[in-house]
Amino acid sequence: MIDISLPSKRDARHRCDDDHVCPDTLDMGWHVWCDEFGIEIKTQYAKDSEGVTTGYHFECPITDLRDGFDMVKPSTYTSESRNTRASMPRMRATCSSSCSQLP
């Protein structure tokens, strides 16, 4: 996420010559996962000729809720603070290198 958000703010600064484009903080979200309804939903990805993902398709395990309702379980959510904290040095390094490119 940071790889996208910070350069886009920097580029907007160059295009608009506006010193209010970059916020005072660089917020980072937690590493969070959701297991929706206890059902594995397989995903197929489509790539273009350069190997960039351009689309996706979900393989729905339930096609008729009358037949598949017994598969539905409560959703669970997980937050991993250890992995989130482990990504902070990368965020700081990205911020330092991107911010040094500002005029």
pLDDT digits (tens, 9 = 90+) for 19-75: 555 566 666 777 788 888 888 889 999 999 988 888 999 998 888 988 888 998 998
pTM to 2 decimals? Answer: 0.39
3-state helix, strand, coil in the chain (%, to 5): 40, 20, 40
Query: What are the boundaries of each domain within the chain?
Result: 31-85
Report the distance separating Cα 62 and Cα 59, nearest Å. Answer: 9
Going by pLDDT thresholds of 50, 70 and 90, the confidence category of residue 84 is confident
